[in-house]
Amino acid sequence: MAKKNKFMPTQQAGKLSKAAQMHGVLAKTGVDPTHYGLTATDVTELGTLLTGAQDAHAARENIKEAKKATTNAFSGPGQALDQLTAKVQYCGNKIRVSDCTDDEALATGTDRRKGSPTPKNVPANPPGVTLDSLQPGVMRLRIYDTGNSGARARAETANGSQLAVVNGTAAIVANEADTVPTILAPRSPWTLDSTKMPGTVRIYARWQTQRGELGPWSAPLTVKVA
């Protein structure tokens, strides 16, 4: 015995589609509802309920997308929380080696484990920078020590790196990495938000020490974003 098709779908989107299909037929000009055993009031009520359900569904989807966007803006890779964390680490490192007293440093939440930390010289060679992955709106970069054959990503005397993202659609000019705002990248890999980047960018990287000393810029990495 053949199994009958289930009249009403179980999925919410399927129910909306089913109602839209039915109303689309019944509400056509020239269609007599009584031909289908219905009244004009039935068709009107069906249309009103369909519109209300579609509006409510759209509103719910908008709320979900807004929540997703808000969550990503806060805790997504390279977003507000990552940027804030990187800045706090940067400020803490500067405070730790500054002229303020231990108590003054501690008041900022910076605990000096050593009274006189040993200065670290900035690496003489720039880091290497490669594209680890590229997805819509997200670029993942790998910054590594070119002078180390091991797996260590960061130069021994550096505590992170700085990145400069330059408009790659314009002609390359000397020292262009110094003309744009830098981005702190305390670890590798590091993720950048590429949603507002031009179609092509050139990315430079340089090492940074605990004291904020900066090494030379790397050769540019050209990335076609879109």
Distance in angstroms (rounded) separating the CA atoms of residues 137 and 205: 20
pLDDT tens for 51-75 read 988 998 888 888 888 888 888 888 7
Distance in angstroms (rounded) separating the CA atoms of residues 141 and 132: 5
pLDDT interval class at 5 (50, 70, 90):
low
pTM, two decimal places: 0.51
**Is 84 within a domain?**
no
Half-sphere exposure (Cβ direction) of 216: Cα atoms closer than 13 Å: 7
Cα distances (Å, whole numbers) of residue 41 to 21, 27, 37, 44, 148? 18, 11, 12, 5, 79
**Is 2 within a domain?**
no
Q: Which two tokens stand for residue 115?
A: 């009274």
pLDDT interval class at 2 (50, 70, 90):
low
Residue 1, pLDDT > 60, answer no
Over residues 178-201, mean pLDDT: 90
Residue that is written with structure tokens 């997308």 in the block: 65
Residue 151, pLDDT > 50, answer no
**Is 138 within a domain?**
yes
Q: Which two tokens stand for residue 18?
A: 């089913």
User: What contacts 159, CB < 8 A, 6 or more positions away?
Assistant: 93, 120, 186, 208, 209, 210
**Is 102 within a domain?**
no
Over residues 152-173, mean pLDDT: 86
Number of domains in the chain: 2
**Is 203 within a domain?**
yes
Over residues 117-134, mean pLDDT: 82
**Is 89 within a domain?**
no
What is the span of the domain harbouring residue 164?
120-224
**Is 44 within a domain?**
yes
| Of the candidates 190, 81, 93, 108, the residue with the CA atom closest to the CA atom of residue 144 | 190
pLDDT interval class at 81 (50, 70, 90):
confident
Residues 71 and 146 in one domain: no
Neighbouring C-beta atoms of residue 106, cutoff 10 Å? 13
Neighbouring C-beta atoms of residue 137, cutoff 10 Å? 14
Residues above pLDDT 90, as percent of the chain: 27
Residue 97, pLDDT > 80, answer yes
**Is 80 within a domain?**
no
Question: Which alpha helices (DSSP H) does the chain contain, by range?
Answer: 12-26, 40-75, 80-96, 102-107
More confident residue, 165 or 89: 165
Lowest-pLDDT range of 12-16, 48-52, 80-84, 165-169: 80-84
pLDDT, mean over the chain: 85
Residues 56 and 125 in one domain: no
Residues 126 and 218 in one domain: yes
Residue 121, pLDDT > 90, answer no
